[in-house]
Amino acid sequence: MFVPQNLPLFIIIGHFRLIAICCKLPFNNTDSAEYLPKVQRNVQNQYLRTYDNIDIRDKLIKQRSVAMPQQFSFSFDPSSQVRGAKACSLPQQIGNGPYRIPRWYYNSVRMRCELFYWSGCCANGNNFPSIHNCKRLCEVDPCKQDLDQGHGKTLQARYYFNKYAKVCEQFDYRGIDGNRNNFESLQECQQQCPEALSPCSHGSSTPQIPCFGDSTCGVNQFCHFGQSQLTTVCCNRSPTGDRCHQLLNIGLGNAFLQRWHFNTNSKHCEPFIYRGLQGNENNFLNQNDCQMTCFVNPCAAGEPYQIQGNTMQCSPAKPSMCPNGYYCHIGAEPQTTVCCPNLGGNACEQQVDQGQGNYQLQRWYWNIASQRCMPFVYAGLKGTQNNFLNQEICDRTCYG
């Protein structure tokens, strides 16, 4: 509808949404405002509040400041009005009507909702009946808003920031309303909401669940220990199966975390530096956790004795339970106290060997040169058979 700018305007307020329109004032020779429509008490029991005077074409016209119920929405052309979150970026538009209607708009420069007086005609979508309506739509960080597809019959490809996965994802926008977490392109989304790498390489719960160990996570999940509480969350397990057979994965990120992994080639737990994100399950906080979870071969040569695929364990109290050709390697824990292949020859004549590992176990060995048992510190793995729990056993085995 075209309305010449030089014609006086007044407001007709209807009983339905978007029914307020701009109309021509009738020409009359009188200098009164009696030709303005008299807005009576409406269905919401709202009244006209204040009256000011303005001069239009040398005629004294009463300018009315009104408080309207929230269901009314004014627009010169309602069909072309930008609605929803996009309206927050529109400039303030007072319009060219004769009234002073208190409304609220979002000031995108100051990033806050502010009061202004709308003239009653020709508004854009950045025009709210209350500060609450304005703040609810505009005074929020779009990156922290949940997905809102809006309503309507049209489907438009848009992007939103998934605040749980910390990435921009595509969704179908229905065309009306929604919120500000709604971007026309992936690039626009990524510029507004910088993406963060998920700590999980195979996905996680939504939202992510903080954890303190595997027991706090669900089925088919493990506790990923990151650099901080934000990245210490339950992650989905890898479809490849056993964590101890997964290849070394140092991950992504800028962290430098001392970790341990099980090397399937050497059959040992070995240290590595983890970068903090998107590693795999073969990632342990310390050597003990690794060794308790993954089998470590403590034998200096060959593999431990097995019965039907199970490693045979022995004990200091029953070292003779190992079959011929094997001896009882006494490690720091039951998992490494197993029957290992004999190294050949007399144990007392073998060279002393501190072995491998991070343990400090007090042991005794037979010193051929001095012909007596002497103490040494054993690291817990490998080594030789010249390794006794105490001096008494060493003397009994080797002396004389």
Residue 183 sits in the same domain as residue 121: no
The whole-number pLDDT of residue 207 equals: 73
CA angle, 297 then 301 then 302, to 5°: 70
Residue 89 sits in the same domain as residue 167: no
Residue 164 sits in the same domain as residue 222: no
Residue 113 sits in the same domain as residue 157: no
265-318 pLDDT, tens digit per residue, is 877 889 999 999 999 999 999 988 898 788 788 999 999 998 887 788 899 888
Q: Give 83's strand partners.
A: none
Residue 15 lies in a domain: yes
**Chain CA centroid to CA 399, Å:** 65
The whole-number pLDDT of residue 379 equals: 95
The whole-number pLDDT of residue 369 equals: 94
Residue 120 sits in the same domain as residue 173: no
Under-50 pLDDT residues of the chain: 1-80
Residue 42 sits in the same domain as residue 132: yes
Residue 42 sits in the same domain as residue 83: yes
State the amino acid at position 202 in one-letter form: H
Q: What is the domain-level CATH number for residue 386?
A: 4.10.410.10
State the amino acid at position 321 in one-letter form: M
Q: Identify the domain boundary among 293, 317, 344.
A: 293
Residue 155 sits in the same domain as residue 259: no
The whole-number pLDDT of residue 211 equals: 94
Residue 106 lies in a domain: yes
Domain membership of residue 280 as a residue range = 214-293
Residue 104 sits in the same domain as residue 220: no
- Count up the domains in the chain and report the number: 4
Q: Identify the domain boundary among 233, 260, 293.
A: 293
CB 337 within 8 A of CB 359: no
The whole-number pLDDT of residue 257 equals: 96
Residue 204 lies in a domain: no
What is the reported pTM? Answer: 0.42
| Rounded Cα distance, 398 and 400, in Å | 6
Q: Give 235's strand partners.
A: 204, 222
Q: Give 104's strand partners.
A: 115, 128
